[in-house]
Amino acid sequence: MIGVDRQHVASRTFRTPLSTFNIINPLGIKGVGEIGIVGVAAAIANAVYHATGKRVRDLPITLDKLQR
């Protein structure tokens, strides 16, 4: 284990008010939805595997790839 012998680990926090994060992209929207869709492709691939028994390891998942 690393640092087991230390009683205190120094850390640095950044306290920036949320009102300063008003960066908007050229479309006029804030990009916060990206975190929520990270696991969607993996979940769909797992659902296809459980439904068909065929493992597809590359995207996009098409009928042609399932018939191989």
Query: Strand (E) positions, the chain?
Result: none
Q: How far apart are CA 43 and CA 38, in angstroms?
A: 10
Tally of CA atoms within 13 A in the half-sphere of 68 that contains its CB: 7
Q: Catalytic residue among 9, 15, 23, 34, which?
A: 34
36 flagged as catalytic: no
Residue type, 11: S
Catalytic residues: 34
